[in-house]
Chain A
């Protein structure tokens, strides 16, 4: 009887088989990385609530002490409690990571969009310019900018890192904008009188944001790593400004005295953060690839 109905109306009655199993919401998502990163970020933000010692206080009776009951992660060569300063210093590292990324992404989006919408000759000039910047090692330019800006502080370091790491994103933005610029919705917006920033914000940005997301997240990682590298080499933040990088910069002496905790603890925090960010970035990249192939 059911089949007759199908023959007449062309609508097959639904089969009442077992309901498809509900997909678990966390399937395929990097849950461990997200939780760890959230833990580290929240811990750094609200560290005042639980750190036992004043992070800037130097306890001259307890320097170079191994991890124990009073000093959970030990103390460094100046008697500071590592458990306290590792959370406290994480703030600065993350701040530098995010603000440098914000600077570089803003430059990259505007530069890439200008280059993508520009006439061919200007586009060629701008792109050769980025390629020249791209060919010089980043660290070299950062050191140069640091030298010009004078004594390093958090702002100048973020600025120096941000201003050197936009080239990759700018090239992606430019390619995407180049493809979109003659599409009819951009023409329609121009007919309506939309200006450059209106078109960039409403039409171009939503369409290329997914393809640069991976690079942006990776930029956070690179900025944190760059700050640590600079501080480790002694040209970044001075040792009295606490960040993961400046903590590591003290570790060269620790290597000689065999106090492993001074390197291992901040290093562990740094590596875990970077791994989590990388993992999330990779997941974002796979997401966008999936979505594009579905279209």
Chain B
């Protein structure tokens, strides 16, 4: 039943700072997404999560590797041009900061209608405006917001508008680049529940990027852990949180605060030396669907 919708193979990307220094932001990352699943990508700031997302959305041209979306290699300019319309209508992206991802000189209605207007989609709700109203209603806002400008809305409302804009195309695949990082905790919970609800309703495939492990555990079916541009572990969410295999994953999990003060006092922060990553390693299957990056010889403890 599962069908691979996105296949990232050996993706590598580097940024050139000056003539002599380059930074390898993404280094040999491979993973697959099945249709209809929520895949979480976690890691600390600067570990290359956003770069992966932007490569997938064709905002950066990767230095190496291939990305297949529905069998189309999106990194190949020729194939990209051939399937441009399909790629632009079925993939959508939600950005981290809604203050800058919404043009503050456009009304909410214009923002939500924009992707439909660009791609000349006949809206199912009759007029574009009626469709915008329906999408806005789906994310829990009423029609009175249609004529407002983004600076008049709160952060949570703005992020809802951004979600409505992405959903207005009825996409098959959504990339959300830390969509909740700029919100406060109570609003985060609302937005996460909204995502869960919308995903159940529309059934889109969802690549969710976050650095908050609790959120990922709650929302995602499978999780990938990134560290210094490398993907170090992929596993189903429950499996990853129960039996982390890679030392970096253990460090991340041990850094999560525990609500119970007695347990919290007993919490020991794991250590991890990032230079361990420099030597060659490969992804090994530890148990079913659980992969971790291990040194070539031997499994650590």
Number of residue pairs A-B, CB distance < 8 angstroms: 54
A202 within 8 A of B: yes
* Chain B contacts for A203, CB-based, 8 A: 103
B94 to chain A, nearest CB (A): 9
Q: How many residues belonging to B are interface residues under a CB distance threshold of 8 Å?
A: 25
Given the contacts A184-B95, A187-B59, A198-B118, A193 and B100 also touching, CB distance less than 8 Å: no
* Chain A contacts for B169, CB-based, 8 A: 192
Q: Tell me which of B89, B101, B105, B114 contacts A184 (CB under 8 A).
A: B101
Q: How far is the CA of A259 from the CA of B59 in the complex (A)?
A: 70
Q: Give chain B interface residues in 125-157, CB to chain A under 8 Å.
A: none
Given the contacts A184-B101, A202-B103, A189 and B114 also touching, CB distance less than 8 Å: yes
Q: Report yes or no: B100 in contact with A207, Cβ–Cβ below 8 A.
A: no
Q: Report yes or no: B59 in contact with A190, Cβ–Cβ below 8 A.
A: yes
CB nearest to A295 among chain B residues: B151
As a 0/1 sequence over residues 194 to 215 of chain A, the CB contacts with chain B under 8 angstroms (1 = contact) are 1000100011001100000000
CB nearest to A192 among chain B residues: B115
As a 0/1 sequence over residues 81 to 101 of chain B, the CB contacts with chain A under 8 angstroms (1 = contact) are 000110011011101110011
Q: Report yes or no: A185 in contact with B103, Cβ–Cβ below 8 A.
A: yes
Q: Report yes or no: B101 in contact with A188, Cβ–Cβ below 8 A.
A: yes
B131 to chain A, nearest CB (A): 15
B189 within 8 A of A: no
Q: Report yes or no: B88 in contact with A193, Cβ–Cβ below 8 A.
A: yes
A257 within 8 A of B: no
Q: Report yes or no: A184 in contact with B97, Cβ–Cβ below 8 A.
A: yes
A292 within 8 A of B: no
* Chain B contacts for A192, CB-based, 8 A: 88, 92, 114-115, 118-119, 169
Q: How far is the CA of A207 from the CA of B91 in the complex (A)?
A: 27
* Chain A contacts for B92, CB-based, 8 A: 191-192
Question: Which of A187, A192, A193, A194 counts the most B-chain CB atoms under 10 A from its CB?
Answer: A192
A274 to chain B, nearest CB (A): 32
Q: How large is the interface on A (under 10, 10 to 19, 20 to 34, 35 or more residues)?
A: 10 to 19
CB nearest to A184 among chain B residues: B101
Q: How far is the CA of A192 from the CA of B167 in the complex (A)?
A: 12
CB nearest to A189 among chain B residues: B114
A4 within 8 A of B: no
Q: Tell me which of A185, A198, A202, A206 contacts B100 (CB under 8 A).
A: A185
B63 to chain A, nearest CB (A): 17
Q: Report yes or no: A183 in contact with B118, Cβ–Cβ below 8 A.
A: no
A195 to chain B, nearest CB (A): 8
* Chain A contacts for B240, CB-based, 8 A: none
Q: Give chain A interface residues in 32-63, CB to chain B under 8 Å.
A: none
A19 to chain B, nearest CB (A): 25
Q: How far is the CA of A191 from the CA of B114 in the complex (A)?
A: 12
B269 within 8 A of A: no
Q: How far is the CA of A184 from the CA of B95 in the complex (A)?
A: 7
B164 within 8 A of A: no
As a 0/1 sequence over residues 153 to 197 of chain A, the CB contacts with chain B under 8 angstroms (1 = contact) are 000000000000000000000000000000111011111111000
B57 within 8 A of A: yes
Q: Give chain B interface residues in 148-191, CB to chain A under 8 Å.
A: 165, 169
* Chain B contacts for A188, CB-based, 8 A: 93, 95, 101, 165
Q: How far is the CA of A82 from the CA of B118 in the complex (A)?
A: 55
Q: Give chain A interface residues in 99-117, CB to chain B under 8 Å.
A: none
Q: How far is the CA of A194 from the CA of B114 in the complex (A)?
A: 9
* Chain B contacts for A194, CB-based, 8 A: 114, 118
Q: How far is the CA of A191 from the CA of B177 in the complex (A)?
A: 13
* Chain B contacts for A187, CB-based, 8 A: 59, 93, 95, 101
B102 within 8 A of A: yes
B253 to chain A, nearest CB (A): 31
CB nearest to B111 among chain A residues: A185
Q: How far is the CA of A185 from the CA of B111 in the complex (A)?
A: 10
A209 to chain B, nearest CB (A): 9
CB nearest to B177 among chain A residues: A184
Give 30 A-B contacts (CB < 8 Å), ordered by A residue. Answer: A184-B95, A184-B97, A184-B101, A185-B100, A185-B102, A187-B93, A187-B101, A188-B95, A188-B101, A188-B165, A189-B118, A191-B57, A191-B88, A191-B91, A192-B88, A192-B92, A192-B114, A192-B115, A192-B119, A193-B85, A193-B115, A193-B118, A193-B119, A194-B114, A198-B118, A202-B103, A202-B106, A202-B114, A206-B106, A207-B105
Given contacts A187-B101, A192-B119, 13 further A-B pairs with CB under 8 A are A185-B100, A187-B93, A188-B93, A189-B118, A191-B58, A192-B92, A192-B114, A192-B118, A193-B119, A194-B118, A198-B118, A202-B114, A206-B106
Interface residues of A (CB under 8 A from B): 183-185, 187-194, 198, 202-203, 206-207
